[in-house]
Chains A and B, each alone.
Chain A
Amino acid sequence: MSTFDETTGQVAPAAKTHQRGRGFDGHWALVWQKFLRHRLGVAGGVVVILAYVVAAIPEFLAPVTLEAYNPAYSYAPPQTLHLGRDEGEGWQFRPHVNAYKSEIDYNSGRRTFVDDESQPVDLGLFVEGESYNLFGFIPTNRHLFGPVIEGQPFFLFGADRLGRDILSRTIYGTRISMTIGLIGVALSLVFGILIGGISGLFGGVTDNVIQRLIEFIQSVPAIPLWIGLAAAIPASVPPLQVYFLITIILSVLGWTSLARVVRGRFLAMRNEDFVKAARLDGCGPVRIIFRHMLPSFLSHIIATVSLAIPGMILAETALSYLGIGLRTPIVSWGVLLQEAQNVRTIASAPWLLLPGAAVVVAVLALNFLGDGLRDAADPYSD
Chain B
Amino acid sequence: MDNLIEIRDLRVTFAGAIDVVNGLDLDIAPGKTLCLVGESGCGKSVTAKAILQVIDHPGRVSGGSINLRQPDGSVLDIAKTKPTSPVMQHVRGGDIAMIHQEPMSFLSPLYTIGNQISEALMLHRKVGEKAARAEGIRMLEEVGMPDPARRYDSYTFQLSGGQRQRAMIAMALINKPRLLIADEPTTALDVTTQANILDLLARLQRDTGMGVLFITHDLGVVAEIADEVAVMYLGKIVERGPVREVLEHPKHPYTRGLLASMPRLDGDFKASLQAIRGMVPPPALRPAGCPFHPRCDWARADMCGHVQVLETELGHDHMVACHAYGPQAHKFDRVDRPVAAAAAAAAVKVREESAAPLLSVRDIKKHFPIRSGFFQRQTGAVRAVDAVSLDIFPGETLGLVGESGCGKSTLGQTIVGLHRADSGSMRFAEDDRPAVDLLAARGAEARRLRTDIRMIFQDPTGSLNPRMRVRNIIGEVLQVEGQLSDAEIEARVQALLAKVGLSPDYAQRYPHAFSGGQRQRIAIARALASDPRLVIADEAVSALDVSVQTQIINMMKALQAEMGLTYLFVSHDLGVIANISDRVAVMYAGRIVELGSTEEIFRNPQHPYTEALLAAIPGRGESAGGRIRLGGHVPDVAGRIEGCAFADRCPYALEACRQVRPELKGAGGHLDACIRSEELHLRPVASNETLVPA
Contacts and interface: CB of A to CB of B under 8 A. Distances in A.
Interface of A: 2-11, 13-14, 21-27, 30, 204-205, 208, 212, 272-274, 276-283, 287, 292, 295-296, 380
A274 B472 CA distance: 12
Interface in B15-71: none
Given A3-B285, A208-B376, A13 B513 contact: yes
Interface stretch (B5-13, B84-92, B462-470, B611-619): B462-470
Given A8-B294, A280-B416, A24 B509 contact: yes
Interface string B274-294: 001111011001010000011
Contacts of A10: 277-279, 515
Interface string B403-418: 0000000000000111
A10 B281 CA distance: 8
Interface string B429-471: 0000000000000000001001100110111001111111100
Contacts of B509: 13-14, 23-24
Nearest to A21: B513
B459 A273 contact: yes
Given A9-B294, A13-B513, A280 B455 contact: yes
Nearest to B470: A23
B278 A283 contact: no
Interface residues of B, number: 49
23 contacts: A3-B285, A4-B282, A8-B277, A8-B294, A10-B277, A10-B279, A11-B515, A13-B518, A21-B513, A24-B510, A27-B510, A205-B375, A205-B376, A273-B463, A274-B463, A277-B455, A277-B526, A280-B455, A281-B450, A281-B526, A282-B451, A296-B466, A380-B512
Contacts of A292: 465, 468
Provide the main secondary structure of the chain B interface.
Answer: loop
Nearest to A299: B467
A273 B457 contact: yes
Given A21-B513, A25-B510, A11 B526 contact: no
A255 B291 CA distance: 57
A30 B513 CA distance: 12
Contact of A23 (B279, B455, B476, B510): B510
A23 B518 CA distance: 13
B83 interface: no
A204 B376 contact: yes
A208 B375 CA distance: 8
B672 to A, nearest CB: 33
Interface string B627-648: 0000000000000000000000
A26 B513 CA distance: 11
B689 interface: no
Contacts of A380: 466, 512
A273 B455 CA distance: 11
The 5 lowest CB-CB distance pairs between A and B, nearest first, are: A9-B278, A23-B513, A13-B513, A9-B295, A273-B463
Interface string B211-245: 00000000000000000000000000000000000
Contacts of B487: none
Nearest to B454: A280
Contact of A11 (B282, B416, B467, B506): B282
A274 B513 contact: no
Contacts of A204: 376
Given A2-B282, A26-B510, A205-B375, 18 more contacts: A2-B513, A4-B282, A6-B287, A6-B293, A6-B294, A6-B305, A9-B276, A9-B294, A11-B282, A13-B509, A23-B514, A208-B374, A208-B376, A276-B418, A280-B454, A281-B476, A282-B447, A296-B467
Contacts of B285: 2-4, 11
Contacts of B465: 274, 277-278, 292, 296
A288 to B, nearest CB: 10
A279 B453 CA distance: 13
Nearest to B508: A24
A278 B476 contact: yes
A163 B405 CA distance: 78
B268 interface: no
A280 B305 contact: no
A23 to B, nearest CB: 3
Nearest to A378: B466
Given A6-B294, A21-B513, A205-B375, A27 B418 contact: no
Contacts of B451: 282
Contacts of B664: none
Contacts of B417: 279-280
A274 B375 contact: no
B477 interface: yes
Contacts of A8: 277-278, 294
B513 A282 contact: no
A9 B279 contact: yes
B287 A4 contact: yes
B480 interface: yes
B464 A274 contact: yes
B481 interface: yes
B457 A13 contact: no
Nearest to B292: A9
B480 A283 contact: yes
A11 B510 contact: no
A236 B649 CA distance: 81
Contacts of A2: 282, 285, 513
B467 A27 contact: yes
A329 B227 CA distance: 88
A27 B467 CA distance: 6
Contacts of B462: 272-274
Contacts of B464: 274, 277
Contacts of B416: 280
A4 B284 CA distance: 10
A328 B518 CA distance: 65
Contacts of A272: 462
B345 to A, nearest CB: 22
B388 to A, nearest CB: 21
A371 B451 CA distance: 44
Nearest to B305: A6
Contacts of A23: 506, 508-510, 512-514
Contacts of A9: 276-279, 281, 294-295
Given A27-B466, A27-B467, A281-B480, A13 B294 contact: no
B358 to A, nearest CB: 18
Nearest to A25: B510
Contacts of A21: 513
Contacts of B454: 280
Contacts of A277: 455, 457, 463-465, 523, 526
B238 to A, nearest CB: 15
A13 B506 contact: yes
B513 A14 contact: yes
Contacts of A26: 467, 469, 510
Contacts of A7: 294
Nearest to B447: A282
Nearest to A206: B376
A23 B511 CA distance: 7
Nearest to A203: B376
Contacts of A276: 418, 457, 463
B473 to A, nearest CB: 8
Contacts of B515: 10-11
A10 B416 CA distance: 33
Contact of B467 (A14, A205, A287, A295): A295
A292 B295 CA distance: 38
A58 B320 CA distance: 78
A8 B515 CA distance: 14
A339 to B, nearest CB: 50
